Amino acid sequence: MSKAKKYINPFPVLDYYSPKYFCNRNKELNILLKAYKNNRNIVLTSIRRLGKTALIKHLFYHIEQDKTQKIKLLYFDILKTQNMSDFVKEFGNKLIEIEAKNSNWFKKLTKLISGINANISINEDTGIPNLQFAYKTPSESEHSINESTPKSLFSKMHINPLKLYC
C-alpha cells in the first residue's frame, strides 16, 4: 500500500497537488465547469500570483474524474511565446508530450520515423541534386552508430588512438 505524498505547506505555489490542497475557489470552479459542460469559451484574467494556473489544473482534475468522457486536456504556458510560430511550436510540443505518454501507436510511429535516413548529393557532372531515402531498423541504426565511433574507426585502421595523442 503506497502512501500519498504529504506536503508541509498547505498553499503550494509551484504546482497543483490535489483537491486537498486547493481552497476557497468553489464559485469560480463552478463557473468554469458550467462553461466547459455547455461548450462555452471563457477568458480567465487577473494579476500575477493569484492562482489562475492552479484553478485551471483543479478544473482539469474535476473533468478527468468524469470517466464517461474520453477527453485529453493540455496546459502550457504561452508567456514565453513571442509570435504565432512560437505558439505553434509550444502547442505541438505539448501535444507530442501528451501523445507520447498515452499512446502505443505514437511510440511505434516515432520508432519507425527514427529509422528513415535521407541522403542528398549533387552530381558533379550535371549539377543535378539526388535525393535518396533508406530505412534502417532501430537495431541496425544502433549497430551503424557503434561502428562509427572513433574507437571502432581507429581499430579498423589498426591504429591505437592513445599513440596518436602522445
Tens-of-pLDDT digits for all 166 residues of the chain? 455 566 666 666 666 767 776 777 889 999 999 999 999 998 888 888 888 888 888 999 999 888 787 777 888 888 889 999 999 999 888 888 877 776 776 677 777 777 788 788 888 888 888 888 787 776 665 555 455 555 554 454 444 444 444 3
39: cell is 461548450
What is the spatial distance between Cα 13 and Cα 69, in angstroms, rounded to a whole number? 30
Q: pTM for this structure?
A: 0.53
pLDDT at residue 51, rounded to an integer: 83
What amino acid occupies position 1? M
Report the DSSP pairing between strands 129-135 and 116-122: antiparallel
